């Protein structure tokens, strides 16, 4: 049984100073909202868990958040209208889709500098890196295609036709399949990476947006922004086995590395739905900032970072691994310090497309 604390900045300060909040702090649950750039959208974490990268659509930048202190330590200028962001398997590169100039910026994380710019299709949105790091997949919303980038040369080596209005993309853990949400025709394209061909098309809900894959390679989770549901696709059969009602206008999707929880941002509802995967039910609903879009789970599943597009912040959800409780707030709690526990998380992060 999870215990959820919904708090504003003011109430969080009261709880933190009063005896009521002492128990929560001792249990290791706390949160804050980190100011970033203008219109944060996609979010990704490097495999070490040390840094989170946030694409800011409104000011053409990427904010670099150091997770140990939850502070912005750098801002990187990229292309026009950055949206999607994904980290490479080793964490040495971050890839950012620039939707308004049809490019992908390649960032070297060691220096936080753009080292290459790759021309892709029309209106690139989502981005995912293959598990072994050799390929990057980019959805091009306005020309119904996926660009495949060779990471050794940073060149497009294949363009794959998919459905209408491809939005986001996620790769399977083994790297043999890539899943693309097609927002305008309510489908998911299944791509076989060995041949770069579409091998199946799955009908889902209304206006599919975010997508994420279960770490054991059994299920794909797709947010349907126009009907408030999350479709669960069984990967073996490529068929929908469940539809879960979540919040208003679900957008981004991320799966915890141990697979027990799925996090869905509800863009209009200003919340995150937490789904228990064993039962496919909503276990918690957590209030976050204004217009949440991108979401990522840090390695070790200790924290969840949510980009609030209209609030120009990133909400940090601290997951209490001892009791499974959460604490969340919508205001900036920087004056109260970083998350309880303080150490940098390690392990796995979900795909770094806008929604995943």
- What string of H, E and C letters represents the secondary structure of 190-252? EEECCCCEEEEEEECCCCEEEEEECCCCCEEEEEECCCCEEEEEECCCCEEEEEEECCCCEEE
Q: Which two tokens stand for residue 116?
A: 């290459």
**Exposed, middle or buried, 315 (CB in 10 Å: 0-12/13-18/19+)?**
buried
pLDDT given for residue 71 in this prediction: 97
Domains (range + CATH), the chain: 4-336 (2.130.10.10)
Q: Cα separations (Å) of 128 from 78, 170, 171?
A: 18, 6, 7
pLDDT given for residue 26 in this prediction: 18
φ/ψ of 11, rounded to 5, equals -70, -30
Residue pLDDT tens, the chain, 356 long: 333 333 333 333 223 323 333 333 212 243 789 999 999 999 999 999 999 999 999 999 999 999 999 999 999 999 999 999 999 999 999 999 999 999 999 999 999 999 999 999 999 999 999 999 999 999 999 999 999 999 999 999 999 999 999 999 999 999 999 999 999 999 999 999 999 999 999 999 999 999 999 999 999 999 999 999 999 999 999 999 999 999 999 999 999 999 999 999 999 999 999 999 999 999 999 999 999 999 999 999 999 999 999 999 999 998 864 444 554 443 333 332 322 222 222 222 333 444 33
Identify the H or E element spanning 328. strand 326-329
pLDDT given for residue 249 in this prediction: 98
First vs last Cα of the chain: how many Å apart? 26
If you ran DSSP here, which 8-state letter would residue 16 be given? H
pLDDT given for residue 272 in this prediction: 95
Neighbours of 312 (CB within 10 A): 22
Sequence-ordered list of residues with C-beta below 8 angstroms from that of 164, at least 6 positions apart, any chain: 144, 182, 183, 184, 185
Are 125 and 139 in contact, with CB atoms under 8 Å apart? yes
């Amino acid at each position: 049984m999870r215990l959820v604390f919904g708090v504003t900045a003011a109430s969080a300060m009261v709880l933190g100073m009063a005896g009521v909040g002492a128990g929560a702090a001792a249990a290791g649950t706390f949160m804050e909202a980190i100011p970033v750039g203008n219109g944060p959208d996609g979010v990704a974490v490097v495999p070490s868990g040390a840094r989170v990268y946030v694409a800011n659509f409104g000011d053409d930048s990427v904010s670099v958040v150091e997770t140990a202190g939850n502070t912005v330590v750098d801002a990187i200028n990229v292309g026009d209208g950055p949206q999607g962001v994904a980290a490479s398997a080793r964490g040495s590169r971050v890839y950012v889709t620039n939707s308004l100039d049809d490019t992908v910026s390649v960032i070297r994380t060691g220096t936080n500098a753009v080292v290459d710019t790759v021309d892709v299709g029309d209106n690139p949105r989502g981005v995912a890196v293959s598990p072994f790091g050799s390929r990057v997949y980019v959805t091009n919303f306005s020309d119904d295609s996926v660009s495949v980038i060779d990471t050794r040369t940073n060149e497009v080596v294949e363009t794959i036709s998919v459905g209408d209005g491809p939005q986001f993309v996620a790769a399977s853990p083994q790297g043999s399949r890539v899943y693309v949400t097609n927002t305008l025709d309510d489908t998911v394209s299944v791509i076989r990476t060995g041949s770069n061909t579409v091998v199946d098309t799955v009908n889902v809900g209304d206006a599919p947006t975010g997508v994420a894959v279960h770490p054991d390679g059994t299920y794909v989770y797709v947010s349907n922004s126009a009907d408030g549901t999350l479709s669960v696709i069984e990967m073996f059969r490529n068929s929908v086995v469940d539809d879960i009602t979540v919040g208003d206008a679900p957008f981004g999707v991320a799966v915890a590395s141990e697979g027990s929880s799925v996090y869905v941002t509800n863009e209009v509802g200003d919340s995150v739905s937490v789904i228990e995967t064993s039962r496919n039910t909503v276990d918690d609903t957590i209030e976050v900032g204004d217009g949440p879009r991108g979401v990522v789970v840090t390695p070790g599943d200790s924290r969840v970072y949510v980009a609030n597009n209209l609030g120009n912040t990133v909400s940090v959800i601290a997951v209490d691994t001892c009791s499974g409780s959460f604490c969340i707030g919508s205001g900036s709690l920087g004056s109260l310090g970083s998350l309880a526990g303080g150490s940098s998380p390690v392990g796995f992060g979900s795909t770094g497309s806008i929604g995943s």
